[in-house]
Amino acid sequence: MTTAPVLSAQSLVVGYGGRPVLSRVSIEVRAGEVLCVIGHNGAGKSTLMRALFGLTRPVSGTIQVDGKELAHHVPRVLAAHGIALMPEGRGIFPGLTVAEIFDLALWSGNIAEGERAARIDWVLSLLPPIKAFYGKRAGFLSGGQQQMVSIGRTLLSQPRCLMLDEPSIGLAPKLFQDLLQPIRALQRKTNMAVILVEQNVREALKISDRVVVMKAGQVILDTVPGELSDNARLMELY
């Protein structure tokens, strides 16, 4: 055992109104690792992401950042620790322009005033298509453009750990690869940890180092993508 995982959880139980959505889920992600979380609709993937990011309070269980529990496990503090979440669905404000969304992200991320322009340039260099619609209202953009803005927004803080909740929703597979390849390249370069929740299993496994399969609120398998590459195994799990 070398260093502590960037983000980890033990025996996490989360329930909405008494019904457990997650029952005793343990998970961890280390620096430089892309962890893919797959499973059916309702398996608890998004709930797990929300709990890890402090948006949903667990009934029991513990969550650590760098091996230590936080005094206040809320998004604001997680963001300050270099963790960013791209939420499920539209992670943008339709009435705000892309420029305003980035501005808000830089401000909420406490990025120094002098460094903000450089951060924006950096994200635009990673996701160059954004330049074309930088001044437009996000609500007028296509689904793919909105997802790109949403991912770009999470990158502005240069996170150590990036959580992506179904970035492929509503995207053609080709677009999905266009979106994920720059993330993978960046992740290799910066040693960032990534948790990727996906329905589009085949595409997601291509860029993952480890895969966790969830079913009915539990982790039923923790393995490497190679193990799942043969179809029979994947079908069996579903």
Partner 1 sequence: MVFLQLFLNGLQLGAIYALTAVGFSLIFGSTKIFHVAHGSAFAISGYIYWWLASQLDVAWPVATLAAVLAAAAFGLLMERFIYRPIQRHEASFFTVFIAAFGVSLVIQNLIGSVAGRGMETVTTPLSRSVEIMDGLFVAPISAISIGVAILVFTALSYFLGRTHVGIAMRALSENPDLVRVFGLDPGRVAQWAFVIGSAVVVPGAIFTAMTAGLNPAIGTHVMLVSLAATIVGGIGSVRGAACGGMLLGLAENLAYWKLDPQWSEAVTFVVLFAFIIFRPSGFFGTPTAAR
Binding site residues, partner 1, CB under 8 A: 53, 55, 74-76, 78-80, 85, 87, 91-96, 100, 103-105, 107-109, 153
How would you classify residue 31: left for phi > 0, otherwise alpha for psi between -120 and 50, otherwise beta? beta
Which residue's CB is nearer to partner 1, number 145 or number 154? 154
Give the whole-angstrom CA distance, residue 13 versus residue 85: 20
Min dist. Cβ of residue 83 to partner 1 (A): 9
Which residue's CB is nearer to partner 1, number 61 or number 75? 75
Min dist. Cβ of residue 182 to partner 1 (A): 21
Which residue's CB is nearer to partner 1, number 63 or number 79? 79
User: CB-based contacts of 197: which residues, under 8 Å, 6+ apart?
Assistant: 36, 37, 38, 45, 46, 48, 49, 88, 163, 164, 165, 166
Min dist. Cβ of residue 100 to partner 1 (A): 5
Which residue's CB is nearer to partner 1, number 110 or number 223? 110
Compute the C-alpha angle 2/6/9, nearest 5°: 105
Min dist. Cβ of residue 53 to partner 1 (A): 7
